[in-house]
Amino acid sequence: MCRMAAYIGAARHLAVIVVTPRHSLLVQSQDATEAKLAVNGDGFGFAWYNNGLEPGLYKDILPAWSDANLVSLCTHISAPLFLAHVRASTDAETARANCHPFTWRNWSFMHNGQIGNFGALRRPLENSLSDEFYALRRGQTDSELVFLLLLQAGLERDPAQACVNVIRQITENTLKISSKAPVRRTCVISVGVALYAFRYASDGRCPTLYSVVTAGGVILASEPMDPEFGTWSEVEPNTLMRVDGEGGYRTERMERVASPVFVA
């Protein structure tokens, strides 16, 4: 399973989550403690915002610990909002197009988890995309496809409802093929002025995600990074968390996810 982290608040160097903490994202790329796989070496990437519009983006297929540019970039790039991800591939090749984050206009997206039996579900889900969003497909991952489905489902208008709609769509297609493979998703999304995060699993086993309010901002991470940041809290399942530019929280419980269609 992948590991990821994001920050919003006063402008900080990317190193604050990627490099310097005791259990930084760079450390987690080789020694994750709350994932099925301890090593996440199938590429990495980060996106950052300095003007609230389209993000900067850097990603590569090397393991994070092998990229000679990573530490230098993270100690020189400063931004009030950024996302970072290290990848452990489950169903797609190691290619730059399959590395996170994925971006579209001012949106960025990263994901941990998987759609069970994705090989059988990929075609009907891709066929549901409009020509506009299908043309944006560059890789083979379920993660990128989920991002495009969210955009089509109205992510820009109503993020919580878009998440519910896409979970319902995936689940209904899973039931059609009589698959019992679980859907497990933890996502972090940004629109440049806020972070959104949510966790969902059809079998109740959501990939991990934590939050902490620290000096000047808020950090979201797959695993707690450093006790010096403060007390880490688990992001609740079936909840869309929104963190705005002032570090404030606004959460919306996605009760609609409790519909009978979401039976494991």
Catalytically active residues are 2
Sheet holding 210-214, edge to edge: 56-60, 44-49, 78-86, 3-13, 217-221, 210-214, 233-234
Beta bridge partners of 194: 244
- In the numeric block, which tokens belong to residue 113? 């988890």
Contact assessment for residue 125 and residue 173, using Cβ atoms and an 8 Å cutoff? yes
Q: Which of 214, 158, 154 is nearest to 5 (CA)?
A: 214
Backbone φ, ψ for residue 119 (5° rounding): -55, -35
Tell which residue, 162, 161, 128, has the closest CA to residue 145: 128
Rounded CA gap, 109 and 187, in Å?
7
